[in-house]
């Protein structure tokens, strides 16, 4: 047994153990921590599978951002009154059996794949020079399957509307509140010193995505984390969600993406097609606008529903 295989088996056992623990543990807070650890281990597995793009997304979005949202939900549940009774035994069994069926189905599909498994990877790499990109994953996301990425960017907006709609009537249109109850010296110092580095890393991830692992979502997640840190330390307040510039920033990415996609009908014969020779600059424009919009949307998702009156 080689050392690499031992590490892989260890990782697989560890991720299964953490997954099981997260399901079994009764305490909400502990389960969320288990989910975050599970996501980080999963990111390591994606690295071992030579999929650094997926690993970055899993670490930034799957583990970091989703973990933060779940932590916020756990904190709200802890202080909430009138928590409804947990679902009964029958419902839990049905949910468990359905989840197990999905897992078994996925496992069966993976195990029953013919050897070698069918793949479009050679075709994706072969046509990459046409796009001017160096990273085949970005090629898939923004050229071959751009419609999926467009929908992924748009779906953040209904998610944000769902969070906003949780605000009581008197706070509607007001600003969310994410400030730590008593931000002290250490948190303030971190929020002052870390964002310059975080912003560089976020912009680098976005810019680098054209040729190397990275992209709009990963870069935006880092930018949103920096914003959330500043809000938590109380160095700045979140803007009221009814501000016009905020709404423009939120939709800018989807609008630019959609506009370039519609222009493709006239200039390149198909929706979301790029005219020959202009693919890379157009893709970079879309990535830039997407990064800004996604960063603002993710930051506002973390900040939660409006909690101050509009004054």
Give the residues lining the site for another protein (CB under 8 A).
Answer: 180, 184, 186-187, 189-190, 193-194, 197
Closer residue to another protein, CB minimum distance, 182 or 244: 182
Min dist. Cβ of residue 180 to another protein (A): 8
Nearest distance, CB of residue 175 and another protein, angstroms:
23
The DSSP line for 207-255 is HHTTTSS--HHHHHHHHHHHHHHHHHTTSSPPPPTT-HHHHHHHHHHHH
Q: Which is nearer to another protein, 233 or 298 (CB)?
A: 233
Q: How far is the CB of 217 from another protein (least distance, A)?
A: 21
Closest distance to another protein from the beta carbon of 77 (Å): 17
CB of 259 to another protein, least distance (A): 38
Judge whether 67 and 34 are in contact, CB under 8 Å.
Answer: no
Buried b (16+ CB within 10 A) or exposed e, 58-95: bbbbbbbbbbbbbbbebeeeeeeeeeeeeeeeeeeeee
Count CB neighbours of 140 within 10 A.
Answer: 19
Number of H helices, E strands in the chain: 13, 0
Cβ proximity to another protein, 180 vs 247, nearer residue:
180
Residue among 175 and 230 whose Cβ is closer to another protein: 230
């Amino acid at each position: 047994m080689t050392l690499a295989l031992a590490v892989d088996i260890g990782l697989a056992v560890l991720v299964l153990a953490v997954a099981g623990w997260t399901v079994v543990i009764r305490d909400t807070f502990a389960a969320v921590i288990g989910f975050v650890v599970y996501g980080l281990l999963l990111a390591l597995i994606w690295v071992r599978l030579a999929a650094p793009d997926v690993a970055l997304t899993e670490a930034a979005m799957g583990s970091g951002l989703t973990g933060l949202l779940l932590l916020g939900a756990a904190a709200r549940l802890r202080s909430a009154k009138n928590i409804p009774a947990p679902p009964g035994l029958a419902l839990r069994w049905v949910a468990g059996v359905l989840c197990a069926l999905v897992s078994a189905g996925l496992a069966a599909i993976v195990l029953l794949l013919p050897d070698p498994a069918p793949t479009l990877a050679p075709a994706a790499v072969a046509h990459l020079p046409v796009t001017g990109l160096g990273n085949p994953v970005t090629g898939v996301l923004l050229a071959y399957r751009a419609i999926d990425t467009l929908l992924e960017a748009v779906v953040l907006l209904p998610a944000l509307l769902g969070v906003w709609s949780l605000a009581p009537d008197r706070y509607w249109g007001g600003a969310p509140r994410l400030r730590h109850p008593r931000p002290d010296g250490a948190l303030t110092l971190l929020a002052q010193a870390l964002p310059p580095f975080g912003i560089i890393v976020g912009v680098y991830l976005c810019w680098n995505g054209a040729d190397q692992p990275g992209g709009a979502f990963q870069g935006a997640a880092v930018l949103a984390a920096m914003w959330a840190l500043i809000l938590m330390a109380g160095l700045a307040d979140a803007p009221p969600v009814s501000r016009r510039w905020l709404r423009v920033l939120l939709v800018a990415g989807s609008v630019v993406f959609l506009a370039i996609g519609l222009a493709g009908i006239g200039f390149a014969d198909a929706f979301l097609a790029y005219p020959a020779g202009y693919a890379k600059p157009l893709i970079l424009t879309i990535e830039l606008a997407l990064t800004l919009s996604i960063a603002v949307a993710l930051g506002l998702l973390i900040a939660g529903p409006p909690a101050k009156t509009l004054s």
